[in-house]
Chain A
């Protein structure tokens, strides 16, 4: 019940296209859902985060869509650029726990 399932494992998108990464969870106590971006040789960096009281959050080309009833959330990267090539992790946190639960990661490659 503590798991966060992330798909796909890897994704190749053409420059200018839309990249979509999906995550699903079971624990209804989760109330904070961040997405992290990690470049090779670097630690993860927070990209965007959402709480379950909203269904969508947009920051620039990055959008999180959240479906509370389906217990799913997804990251959309619009107009994908080669500089977006990285590994993306979704995560979840419950208000009673100081532990981020991570998805397995998606390696995104944007082809020029």
Chain B
């Protein structure tokens, strides 16, 4: 069973640009969550999607957005990049049928904003 796949693994962008990150969940999983991980802040929840609907959103500015497609693949977009957006962005998938199902993480996309 293939794991959670995130692409690209590494990305370097310039301030002001926008970026799109992709996440393919484990086959059969319908829930995808996104997290930002920084050394000082730990993992911060961005949003969670289930069957193409956003069920919950963290405290991030509107520059951070996401969506989920009918095949459960998800994308995350960050517009008008700032230096502080440099982080590891992690995607996690779960079956989502209950609130306590195990979340499986991808290896993340390392975004560097210069």
Interface residues of A (CB under 8 A from B): 32, 34, 41-46, 49, 51, 89, 93, 95, 97-105
Are the C-beta atoms of A98 and B55 separated by less than 8 Å?
Answer: yes
A46 to B41, alpha carbons, bound, how many Å? 20
Most interface-central of B33, B35, B45, B56 (chain A CB within 10 A): B45
Residue-wise, chain B 41-83 has the 8 Å CB interface mask toward A (1 for contact) of 1111100101000011010000000000000000000000000
Residues on the A chain within 8 Å of B4, using CB: 43
Residues on the B chain within 8 Å of A102, using CB: 35, 42-45
Are the C-beta atoms of A43 and B56 separated by less than 8 Å?
Answer: no
Q: A98-B48, A98-B55, A99-B56 are in contact. Are A104 and B99 (CB under 8 A)?
A: no
Are the C-beta atoms of A95 and B108 separated by less than 8 Å?
Answer: no
Residues on the B chain within 8 Å of A32, using CB: 99-100
Interface size, B (range): 20 to 34
Are the C-beta atoms of A44 and B105 separated by less than 8 Å?
Answer: yes
Are the C-beta atoms of A89 and B43 separated by less than 8 Å?
Answer: yes
Residues on the A chain within 8 Å of B108, using CB: 43
Most interface-central of B33, B43, B58 (chain A CB within 10 A): B43
Q: Does B26 lie at the interface of the complex (its beta carbon under 8 Å from any beta carbon of A)? A: no
Q: Does B25 lie at the interface of the complex (its beta carbon under 8 Å from any beta carbon of A)? A: no
Are the C-beta atoms of B105 and A98 separated by less than 8 Å?
Answer: no
Residues on the A chain within 8 Å of B43, using CB: 44, 89, 100, 102
Which of B41, B50, B90 is the one whose CB lies under 8 Å from A98?
B50
Residues on the B chain within 8 Å of A104, using CB: 41-42
Q: Does B103 lie at the interface of the complex (its beta carbon under 8 Å from any beta carbon of A)? A: yes
Are the C-beta atoms of B42 and A93 separated by less than 8 Å?
Answer: no
Residues on the A chain within 8 Å of B90, using CB: 43-44
Are the C-beta atoms of A99 and B42 separated by less than 8 Å?
Answer: no
Whose C-beta in chain A lies nearest to the C-beta of B31? A98
Measured CB to CB, the closest approach of chain A to B93, in angstroms, equals: 11
A45 to B108, alpha carbons, bound, how many Å? 13
